[in-house]
Amino acid sequence: MIDKSEKFEWLVRAGYLSRALLYVMLGFLALTSASAISEGTQGIFRAIEDFPAGTAVLWVMVVGLVAYALFRFASPVVDIENNGSDATGWGKRIGHAGSGIGHLALAWTAYKFATGASEGSGDGAQDAAAGVLGLPLGEIALGALGLAFFLTSLFQFKNAVTAEFMQRIAGSAPSFTCTLGRIGFTARGVVYAVIGWSLIKAGFMASGADGVRSLGTALADLAGTGFLFTLTALGLLTFGFFSLILSRYRIIPEIDPDTRIPKFRMD
């Protein structure tokens, strides 16, 4: 049974706050420090570690990212977001599970920096991909993950166009929230497409794990595109501010203990 207490709600909100900090740093570093962004998520967390009280911030991110991941894992199990059980609904629910896995990986990286156990300056995405490629049918699994990222990319663009995300945000949110969301989801769609293509090449085209991209390195790959890179970096920075608003105004659903149907409390 999912903890539906106020404590769980605040943990989820801490998750959105952690996501906000992650994307703000990603966009900021992309615009100011090419060397840091080329290190991927390692570079982002290293920059946070260098903040005043950076270790404390990292521990907050560990807790928040784990809480956010658990919230996303609830989607395929009990349909906590009430997406339904048709093909579209299951597509969203599976996508949420993938998001949960991704945020757990981010939480693990934050944990290593918080405990001083981080190693080297490389991007862990390549190491993880190499591990998958070493498994039976690993190439197929990695390629399939790439296709899933492409599907997620399409969902990001769809969100940007339809603004469906506003259905989960309280009406008391600032009036510019929708605009921030549209910009942010568009930028995420671009980056997810780059990540998906890198996974497809590594899995289906046997290009090797070295070409696999994470959030940071995917954005770094766009550096040579000039205007597109700048727009995407600004878009991800905007998504960080959008996530900050969500940490306060996102409607956190509860599961009715009798019907096991999500209930949305409109703040």
Query: Residue-wise over 220-254: b if at least 16 C-beta within 10 A, else e?
Result: bbbbeeeeebebbbbbbbbbbbbbbbbbebbbbbb
The whole-model pTM stands at 0.82
Local structure of 263: helix, strand or coil = strand
C-alpha to C-alpha distance for 86 and 83, rounded to whole angstroms: 9
State mean pLDDT over 71-94: 77
Predicted confidence at residue 67, as pLDDT, reads 83
Q: What is the pLDDT of residues 193-241, one digit of tens each?
A: 998 898 898 888 877 777 778 777 888 888 778 889 999 999 999 999 9
Provide the residue count of the chain: 267
Alpha carbon distances (Å) from 95 to 46, 72, 133, 255 = 28, 9, 22, 20
C-alpha to C-alpha distance for 178 and 171, rounded to whole angstroms: 11
